[in-house]
Amino acid sequence: MKPSLLILTVFISAISIAQKNTEMKPLSIISEMTKTFDSQNIENYFYTNRVCLGDTRIITMNNQEKCFTNGNFSEYYLFWQEEDTTYITKADNCGSFIKLKLENNELFNFFMKHKETLENNSVKEYKVANPQNSPMQRAKVYPCSHTFSFTTAMGTFIQKFDEFDVTNDSRQTNLNYEYNQQLKLVALDNMIDTVITETEPKLRRK
């Protein structure tokens, strides 16, 4: 193998490893937190991961040092209850955040009430009537996706959708738009958006 090709291969491998490690960091933080729930008799909780491919950020930490993401900025929001009070915490590529009480239990109650529906009804992909006349490459690109992990006494289940799939702004109508909009998963996601907006100014890094 030529030296230049060898160097290029090592460089690409290093980038791939760095991106993989960066992606795993916030998930590992959340996983460590949920491991402590067993000792607290917390059986029900869920988290959502919002990740945007190609989203590179420079974040100033508490000690004023800079944290550079690797192009896939990833945020995890974890929700659980303690003594009938709902809490939120967060982790991203640059570390963990404090836990914060929510003002009410509306979000968590919605999860508990509709957990079976959340498990059994998934978002459908963006579908057009005539794909030949509207290739997907002409559609607006949404590089962001939302993943959910729900845990109850019965076990854990996962749901995921791309932001593009719940929109209706391509050159052709999304035939699955109305179906997706009535899903409890999409309703929960919208509720999470509201909670994030309300708590973001208060959620501080550890």
Summarised one tens digit per residue, pLDDT across range 94-103 is 999 999 999 9
Predicted local confidence at residue 58, as pLDDT:
80
Task: Tell me which residue of 110, 163, 105 sits closest to 139, measured CA to CA.
Answer: 163
For 154-194, the pLDDT digits (tens) are 999 999 999 999 999 767 899 999 999 999 999 999 999 99
- What integer best gives the mean pLDDT of the chain? 85
pLDDT at 148 over 90: yes
Predicted local confidence at residue 1, as pLDDT:
54
Higher-confidence residue of 119 and 128: namely 119
CA distances from 161 to 32, 61, 83, 84 (A): 25, 31, 32, 30
pLDDT average, residue stretch 45-67: 86
In the numeric block, which tokens belong to residue 21?
């490690």
Q: How far apart are CA 68 and CA 99, in angstroms?
A: 24
> Any idea where the domains of the chain sit in the sequence?
3-199
CA distances from 109 to 44, 46, 121, 129 (A): 11, 12, 18, 38
Query: Is residue 54 very low, low, confident or very high in pLDDT (cuts 50, 70, 90)?
Result: confident
Higher-confidence residue of 206 and 16: namely 206
Instruction: Flag whether the pTM goes above 0.75.
Output: yes
Predicted local confidence at residue 64, as pLDDT:
81
pLDDT at 12 over 80: no
**Residue tagged 């989203």 (tokens):** 55
Helix and strand totals (H; E) in the chain: 5, 9
pLDDT average, residue stretch 142-147: 86
pLDDT at 139 over 80: no
